[in-house]
Amino acid sequence: MEMQYIKDIMSRRLITLAPDDRVLDHLKIFEENGINHVPVTENRAVVGIVSRKDFENYVNITRVLQAGGDDPVLVRDIMTAPVFTYHENIHIEAAAQAMIDNVIHAIVITNEKQELEGIVTITDILKYVANRDRYSGL
């Protein structure tokens, strides 16, 4: 069976945040879009990634500390950086191994200029494995 590439399964319909976005302005971004990871970009370059868990942890801590409504916390304060990136021509198996080795749930896909092209999550990898026969003709 021919090896498949990340570009064959990555999501290209992307939602991004900027490092200076206020966290409270985007609390529903994951729920409203059915996603778990959002790349953080600045001038098209990937500078980080935030997960649904990052937001949930922040909200829970904020509730404990009883922070007020005028929250100065920005996306840059809760994002993971540097972010794990790959080019779209990496084999799916290599991306899956990188996720296992680095205990990550998403890989941001960039072009040669480190500009955002897509994202691959553990869910995308699992869908590929479960439906491998469907991808064999790509």
* Mean pLDDT computed over 70-84: 84
Q: Is residue 92 part of a domain?
A: yes
Q: What is the DSSP string of 18-61?
A: -TTSBGGGGTTHHHHHT-SEEEEEETTEEEEEEEHHHHHHHHHH
Determine the structural domain holding residue 45 and report its residue range.
Answer: 6-135
Q: Is residue 34 part of a domain?
A: yes
Q: Is residue 108 part of a domain?
A: yes
Residue pLDDT, tens place only, 18-71: 999 988 888 899 999 999 999 999 998 999 999 999 988 887 776 555 555 565
Q: Is residue 115 part of a domain?
A: yes
**Hey, what are 59's tokens?**
């909200």
Residue 117 belongs to what H/E stretch? strand 116-121
Q: What is the CATH number of the domain that holds 98?
A: 3.10.580.10
Q: Is residue 1 part of a domain?
A: no
Q: Is residue 73 part of a domain?
A: yes
Domain count, the chain: 1
Q: Is residue 105 part of a domain?
A: yes
